[in-house]
Amino acid sequence: MIKVLVLILILFTVIVAGYYFLNKPTPIEEDFSSIDTIQDPVQSSLWSNEPIIITKKNLQLKLTPQATYKIGAIVLSKKKYSSDWSSHISPYDLALGWGEVSRQENLDHIKFKQVLRWYRYRYDAQCPISQDYISKHSSNHHIIPANSNIAKAVKSIRKKDIVELEGKLVNVKGKYKGKPVNWNTSTTRNDTGNGSCEILYVTKIKIGNHIYR
C-alpha cells in the first residue's frame, strides 16, 4: 500500500512538473536595465502594413498593422476572456498605466476593474492626479501574442508587474463561423469610450530582466 502511494505521489509530481515546464515561457535574452514607465508609449508610422493572416478552426482573420508600438508600464489589472470570438486570438487584456499613474503613491487612491473587454477605474477625493490625467495615462490593451512563447509570457504576467511590450497596433477583419467580424484598434492615447482600447500584436515582452520573443 505504501509503495502504491509513493508511486502515485511520484507520478503526480512528474505530471505537475511537466505541466509547469510546458507552460513556462522561455527567455530569449536578459536585459538588466530598468523599464521606463514614466514616458508615454512610443508609436511610429509603418514602412509597410503587410497583413498578418490567422487561420484557426471557424476563424479566418486578416490583421492589418496601423503603427509600431512600444510601451513600458505597470500592470493595473489583467483579465482573461474565453467566450467571445476575439478570445481565440486575444485571450488576455492588460490594463496598463504609465507616467504618474505608474507611481504607487498615486495608485493607492485608484481602483481598476476590467469587464466585457473594457476597463474602468474609480479614484478617491485625495487622489493627487486628475481624471483627465488618469484617462490619458492608462489604457486597456487587447493582447494578440505573435507566437506560443509570447502567449506563455503574457499568461505569466501578474497585476503590479512592470512590463515592456513591443509590437504593432492592428485592425482585425475576417470571419468567425462564416459570419463577418471586425475589431479596430485605437491609435491615440487621448480617446475614451468605445473603440479606445489598443489591439496589440505583441512580438516582444520584457518582464523583469527577461526578454521573450
Taking the CA atoms of the chain, what radius of gyration do you get in angstroms? 19
Which SS3 state, helix, strand or coil, does residue 14 take?
helix
pLDDT average, residue stretch 130-140: 97
Q: What is the DSSP letter of 101?
A: G
Distance of CA 60 to the CA centre of its chain: 22
Map grid coordinates 507611481 to a residue.
103
Compute the mean pLDDT over every residue in the chain, rounded to the nearest whole number. 92
- Strand pairing partners for 173? 62, 182
Single out the residue of 145, 1, 158 nearest to residue 63, CA to CA.
145
How far separated are the first and last CA of the chain, in Å rounded? Answer: 48
d(CA 112, CA 159): 11
Nine cell digits for residue 115 = 469587464
pTM above 0.75, yes or no: yes
Residues whose CB falls within 8 Å of the CB of residue 196, separated by 6 or more in sequence, listed in order: 139, 140, 186
pLDDT tens for each residue of 148-196:
999 999 999 999 999 999 999 999 999 999 999 999 999 999 999 889 9
177: left (phi over 0), alpha (psi -120 to 50) or beta: left
| Domain span at 179 | 2-212
Nine cell digits for residue 3 = 509503495
pLDDT tens for each residue of 42-89:
999 998 889 999 999 899 999 999 999 999 999 999 999 999 999 999
Structural domain count, the chain: 1
Map grid coordinates 476575439 to a residue.
86
